[in-house]
Amino acid sequence: MNLFRYFTKFEWCLWCFSVVSVIAAFVLFDRINWVNPLSAIIGVSYIIINAKGNPIGQALGLVFSVAYGFIALGFGYYGEMVTYMGMTAPMAVVALIAWLRHPFRQNRAEVAVKCISKREMAFAFVLSAAVTILFYFILISLNTANLIPSTISVYTSFLAVYLTARRSEWFSLAYAANDIVLIVLWSLAAFENLSYVSVIVCFVMFFINDIYAFLSWRKMRRMQQRDVAAMTSFDQ
């Protein structure tokens, strides 16, 4: 695969802008916790790959989940640690299997986008709420810092990973919502330690990339639907 042709010029520019922003924030505010920019670069990379519907993105997502879990542990965000290591990482494995099992027209580099029903979407919201309630009591028992935003993060994270496993275009929008929560969460941490400004920049970049991924998946869904309709018409 020729990576320079696989990704568009805009995607390369977006990736480069994200990486430069993350490194600049690390140099300006941290210079110690090298795992922060490293995990951020892995993160923006897997989002861009996810935007193409490529299962490799889920494999990188698993790596990011573990790295981010250690970052969250460092500030006492046990909810984030438990969520990403105990929920997001395993669900990334589930999503990877689902994406590999459902390629679009045998193209392993592009997953078939699934249009889930309104009933299933409602089920996803309810299930996410149930999981969040369970995690809320776990977070209390762990004396989690900034309990309320940490709890909201569980909700948006679970909703995102569920929709990812279901191959729904809405998963990126759920991740974008989670990015907003995490920007708030790490802004609170930055009041105590300025080095966490680099983590804030990380999730600002994630938000931008997730919005692009959502738009990319909407375009991909329309193209897949046209291809299926054209093939069906040809067969008839």
Tokens representing 174 are 């759920």
* Domain contains 4: no
* Domain contains 130: yes
94-125 confidence digits (pLDDT tens): 888 999 998 888 777 889 899 999 999 999 99
Coil, strand or helix at 127: helix
- Our count of domains for the chain comes to 1
| Average confidence (pLDDT) over 35-42 | 85
Calculate the alpha carbon distances from 191 to 81, 188, 196 in Å: 20, 5, 9
* Domain contains 2: no
For residue 130, the tally of other CB atoms under 10 A from its CB is 11
Predicted confidence at residue 10, as pLDDT, reads 94
* Domain contains 46: yes
Residue 42 pLDDT greater than 80, yes or no = yes
Do residues 203 and 186 lie in contact, with contact meaning Cβ atoms separated by under 8 Å? Answer: yes
Closest CA to 199 of 188, 213, 210, 214: 188
With a CB cutoff of 8 Å and minimum separation 6, the contacts of 38 are: 67
Predicted confidence at residue 24, as pLDDT, reads 93
More confident call, 64 vs 1: 64
* Domain contains 1: no
Tokens representing 215 are 């738009």
Closest CA to 201 of 13, 30, 10: 30
Domain range for 95 is: 9-235
Residue 79 pLDDT greater than 80, yes or no = no
By the 10 Å C-beta count (0-12 exposed, 13-18 middle, 19+ buried), 157 is classed as buried
8: left (phi over 0), alpha (psi -120 to 50) or beta: beta
134-189 confidence digits (pLDDT tens): 888 888 888 877 888 888 988 999 999 999 999 999 999 999 999 999 999 889 88
CB burial string 24-38: b at 16+ within 10 A, e below: ebbeebbeebeebbe
Beta bridge partners of 104: 107
* Domain contains 202: yes
* Domain contains 116: yes
